[in-house]
Chain A
Amino acid sequence: MKTIGMVFVLSLVMLAQTVTPAPPMTVSFSSSSATATNVSSKEIVLITVMVTYKEQSDGPVPAVHDLYFKQGGVPAGTMQDVVHPQTNMTITKVALTYVQFADGTSWGDGSDRFTQQAISRRPTIKDLLTNAMAAYQSASDQGLIDYLTKYSGTESGFAKTYLNMQKTSGTAAAVAQIQSRVNAAQGRSF
């Protein structure tokens, strides 16, 4: 009977470990900023944390960091800023809620609308970037400018950014940045 009990307890422990794997990131924070270190063996492409501020009475503030379009994402063993310093807010807690790996697997609960919205935007942004490169390849500088101008309304931060980049740093700089993100996205299997 005693052996059966021990086996039962051991099974429960093993089950708990299976159901709740260790977090792939360790989070540390001060009153004004927070970082997360990738302690897994895999590249991470999305991080969601819930940040509690002393001055914020409406509950924790979600912060979603999407590195899907960044080549390399957050490599294993590296650190990522997950809460950027504010001038007048005091952090009291930072909780890691969801991580997506570069192989498409994940840790945690990513069902919140902020995480889902980030993930659902990727195809649109990928199309925008891919089409911007096509516009450049077919009509050179003016093709890129026309395309980015067309999509630089309030709906596309990307187009605004690259249009500004083209104006300030030149077409080559903008094209290099866009191509880098297209390459990153094309390298993802999901």
Chain B
Amino acid sequence: MNVPYGTSPPEGYADGKQLTKVGRHVGLDFYDLLIEGDYTSVRFFFAFLESMSDVTTSIALWLDSREAYSSKKDAPYFFIMY
């Protein structure tokens, strides 16, 4: 399912937030949000996104240069640009 932008939440969304497979709200506004991060180091954070194939197409994961973080690859962080 493609997520429309600038429109009402599509079917399956509640209050503009996506329900995960375990029934919890993911507090991300998929209509107005970009996520950046070193996917390798924060993969456990984004694991829930991988299970949501219908919304990941609308999210940009900014894959940071591995070299830039080579000295501390295992340090997870979030960088969210709206």
Contacts and interface: CB of A to CB of B under 8 A. Distances in A.
Interface of A: 32-33, 56, 58, 61-70, 81, 84-89, 114, 117-118, 125, 154-158, 160-161, 164-165, 168-169, 173-174, 176-177
B1 to A, nearest CB: 10
B12 interface: no
A90 B35 CA distance: 21
10 contacts: A33-B27, A62-B78, A114-B77, A154-B63, A158-B60, A160-B60, A161-B34, A164-B57, A168-B2, A168-B5
A63 B5 CA distance: 25
Interface string B62-82: 110100000000111111111
Interface of B: 2-7, 20, 22, 24-28, 32, 34-36, 44-45, 47-48, 57-63, 65, 74-82
B24 A62 contact: no
A61 B77 contact: yes
Given A65-B82, A168-B2, A32 B77 contact: no
Contacts of A81: 27-28
Contacts of B59: 161
Given A62-B77, A64-B79, A164 B58 contact: yes
Contacts of A63: 77-78, 80
A188 B57 CA distance: 30
Contacts of A66: 79-82
Nearest to B22: A87
A187 to B, nearest CB: 15
Contacts of A65: 80, 82
A81 B27 CA distance: 7
* A86, A88, A117, A176: most-surrounded residue (chain B CB, <10 A): A86
Contacts of B65: 155
Contacts of A114: 77, 79
Nearest to B36: A157
Contacts of B3: 168
* A65, A125, A161, A177: most-surrounded residue (chain B CB, <10 A): A161
A85 B6 contact: no
Contacts of A177: 5-6
B82 A70 contact: yes
Nearest to A168: B2
Contacts of A158: 34, 60
Contacts of B20: 87
Contact of A61 (B5, B26, B76, B81): B76
